[in-house]
Amino acid sequence: MMFHSARRAPRGSHKRDSAPLPTTIWLPRPEQSRVAPAPGAVLPDWAIEMIRAEFGERPGGRPATLLKVSIQQDLVPGSDACMPCTSYAEADDEAAPGRASVLLAELHPDALPASSDALRVSERGMPGAMENGWPGFFHRAHRLLPADGLLLLATRQRRDAGVLTDPLGSLVAAARTAGFRYLQHIVILYARAVDDALAPAPPGDAAPGVIHGDLLVLSAIHHA
């Protein structure tokens, strides 16, 4: 495992590598006043800053346009149009308007279905981009991104029937079906380093026992 504070965001870990990629753990800088996310969010502000520093440059030194969408409830028909969106772009970014090369989807645990069955591919024969729910979301995200564009999925564990459940495996499986390659897993700690220990500062709406969020990094594969 690799630890990184927001002071030293690693560069280039989003590039493909033939060796297994490690799990990276991100911590806030000591001077960061807010460790936990704002109410209803998954990522704290310091983690957004690290994402921009880590994934804000594309091959050739070109700045990347980052589009963040916040998904706070289970996907239903037409929900795409209601998702809060925030665009982060450098002043000299010459990318075409609306053509993001990095898509950050912040998935609140309440938005994820209780069963992983809802993340599986439909057997109705409907083209993926036209489907409702999560399969359609991943296919539409794939169509939005250019070749080697990045999809970042941020979420955390939830508690179902008193048991913590981890959605990461189902999310990766659904994303792969839509044409994404899994690259890396980053752990976002809701804690501050104090001497040789960690002082937890979890979100107020997090399930008991949850002190971290998860960031999955995936690359869009496009075939000629």
Looking at the predicted structure, is the pLDDT value of residue 173 above 80? yes
Give pTM, 2 decimals.
Answer: 0.78
Q: Which of 177, 188, 167, 190 is nearest to 218 (CA)?
A: 177
Give pLDDT, residue 96.
44
Give pLDDT, residue 85.
72
CA gap 205, 147 in Å, rounded: 36
Alpha helices in 15-82 (DSSP H): 45-55
Compute the average pLDDT of residues 144-170: 87
Give pLDDT, residue 209.
87
Q: Which of 52, 35, 53 is nearest to 44 (CA)?
A: 35
Q: Are the C-beta atoms of residues 121 and 177 closer than 8 Å to each other?
A: yes
In this predicted model, what pLDDT tens digit does every residue of 8-31 receive, in sequence order?
A: 334 444 444 444 556 899 999 888
